[in-house]
Amino acid sequence: MSHATVRIPTPLRSFTGGADELRVDGRTVGEAMAELGRAHAGLLERILDARGELRPFVRLFVGEDDVRHLDGLDTAVAEGAVICIVPAVAGGRP
């Protein structure tokens, strides 16, 4: 089990009480996300779809690498890793 920091993007901070960084435990990115989801209701659904796969408009990076190019949600999390959730944003128009 590793401790990791997850950076929460602005659009998802309504689920984390405004927190922009959270500490989680998990051996993999998927486990870290699951823990995040347990602690913050509604958050996980914004990152993963109903089948538990990463949504196509959200990227997860471990360090500077996109988990799609590693082992996806099975990507191992090293002690002290930083996981960034980066969603697509468009700009002004509603």
Partner 1 sequence: MSARDRRLAELRARVPEVGPAEALALQRAGAALIDVREPDEVAQGSPSGAERIVRGFLELRVEQAVADFELPVLVMCAGGVRSLFAADDLLRLGYRDVRSVRGGFNGWKSEGLPFEVPRTLGDAERERYGRHLLMPEVGEEGQIRLLESRVLLVGAGGLGSPAALYLAAAGVGTLGVVDDDVVERSNLQRQILHADDRAGTSKVESARRTLAGLNPQVVVEGFEERLTSANVERLFAGWDVVVDGSDNFPTRYLVNDACVRLGLPNVHGSIYRFEGQITVFHPSREGRPGPCYRCLYPEPPPPELAPSCAEAGVLGVLPGVVGTLEAVETVKLLLGIGDPLIGRLLHYDALRQRFTEFKVRPDPRCPVCAPGVEFPGYIDYQVFCAAATG
Interface segment toward partner 1; rule CB under 8 A; list 23-31, 36-44, 51-59, 73-81: 51-59
Q: Is 44 in the site for partner 1 (CB under 8 A)?
A: no
Least Å distance, CB 71 to partner 1, is 15
Per-position DSSP letters for 13-81, written without gaps between them: GGGTTT-SEEEEEESBHHHHHHHHHHHSTTHHHHHB-TTSPBPTTEEEEETTEEGGGTTGGG-B--TTE
Q: Is 9 in the site for partner 1 (CB under 8 A)?
A: yes
Based on CB atoms, which residue is closest to partner 1, 10 or 74? 10
